[in-house]
A = this chain, B = another copy of it.
Amino acid sequence: MSLPSSVTVHAPATIANVGCGFDVLGLCLTAPYDTVRLTRREQPGLVIHHLDDYDLPTDPSRNVAGAALLALLRAVPEPLGFEVEITKGIRPGSGIGSSAASAAGAVVAANALLGNRFSHKELIDMAMYGEAVASGVRHADNIAPAICGGFTLVRAVTPALDVLALPAPPLWVAVVHPQFEVKTKEARAVLPTSVPLALAVRQWANVGGLVAGFLTQDNALIARALEDYIVEPARASLIPGLGDAKRLAMAAGALGGGISGSGPSIFMLNKDEATARAAAEALGSVYRKMGIDFHLHVGPIASQGARVVNF
């Protein structure tokens, strides 16, 4: 069987942290998504085109998809060349895994062209090089759900990557992306370098509770366990409207939520589509009132991550 010479992949947005799970938990969305098309080329190396207006670098080592693919090329013995066309459906800087999507989509596409010789874990490891280009840190909390789908726990990055892909509950996610910028660097800078042990204990009780809630599909437990005692309080001042948005979305029936990744997007988990739509409307109403433009996204947690849509 000959391998195809080109492939198109949809690579979805993701929610990192998921309330209490700073740096370790992630959820996969169905939309928005980036579209990554890879075509084999005769000459070794990468040529990258962006079919969008975000003016992102196309030098492979400075492009998130490029850096991920360079890691993949280092892992294959044969010299390979790809032409890469990226259409970003996820706005950079939105806090819903825009860079992770491009990096994940690129390595999933390349893997499809290579007969799927790499495991999810190997692809995550490669795609993390894209995150290093985007934020300076090789983190996996968006990459893992972007590749595995569902609900992921990055149990360890060092000494060895250990990612758990867990079945996600049938929840719906409402996301608001208010149109202001939160720099990941700034969002990192406001974090405490150390935390009181008593607070850390409360946080890991919630992480354990949220994992149990997801695995046993206990919505009441999920609602109680989502709360983040450490990171969200530190970052709340970077996200105007956060408190009101959460309050109104919960009044509309949402289970709970918080800052998506390092923001500015805010996510809320919901028991069904109707509640998610009501929660999204509530989230949007806060920013409409503040005169801040916003985008809304509503969809179920996606059981599948970046996937081939055609060859």
**Residue A22 CB within 8 A of the other chain:** yes
**B193 and A155 within 8 A (CB):** no
**Residues in B whose Cβ lies below 8 Å from that of A215:** 211-212, 215-216
**Residues in B whose Cβ lies below 8 Å from that of A200:** 195, 200, 203-204, 230
Partner of A22, one of B21, B24, B196, B201: B201
**Residue A236 CB within 8 A of the other chain:** no
**Given known contacts A191-B197, A197-B191, is B224 in contact with A162 (CB within 8 Å)?**
yes
Q: What 0/1 pattern do residues 14 to 43 of A give for CB contact below 8 A with B?
A: 000000111111000000000000000000
Partner of A207, one of B166, B196, B207, B221: B207
**Residue A194 CB within 8 A of the other chain:** yes
**Residues in B whose Cβ lies below 8 Å from that of A20:** 204
**Given known contacts A194-B196, A196-B193, A200-B195, is B164 in contact with A212 (CB within 8 Å)?**
yes
**B162 and A208 within 8 A (CB):** no
**Given known contacts A164-B221, A212-B215, is B205 in contact with A155 (CB within 8 Å)?**
yes
**Residue A192 CB within 8 A of the other chain:** yes
Chain A, interface residues (CB within 8 Å), range: 35 or more
CA distance A65 to B85 in the complex (A): 71
CA distance A106 to B164 in the complex (A): 41
- How far does the Cβ of A28 sit from chain B's closest Cβ, in whole Å? 17
CA distance A192 to B199 in the complex (A): 12
**Residue A124 CB within 8 A of the other chain:** no
CA distance A21 to B209 in the complex (A): 12
**Residue A206 CB within 8 A of the other chain:** yes
**Residue A202 CB within 8 A of the other chain:** yes
**Residues in B whose Cβ lies below 8 Å from that of A197:** 191-195, 230
- How far does the Cβ of A140 sit from chain B's closest Cβ, in whole Å? 11
CB-based nearest B residue for A221: B164
Q: Which of A21, A194, A200, A215 has the most CB of B within 10 A?
A: A200
Q: Identify the A interface with B (CB < 8 A).
A: 20-25, 153-156, 162, 164, 166, 191-197, 200-212, 215-216, 221, 224-225, 230
A-B contacts, 20 of them at CB < 8 A, read A21-B204, A23-B201, A24-B208, A153-B205, A155-B206, A155-B224, A155-B225, A162-B224, A191-B197, A193-B196, A194-B194, A194-B196, A197-B230, A203-B204, A204-B204, A204-B207, A207-B208, A208-B211, A211-B212, A215-B216
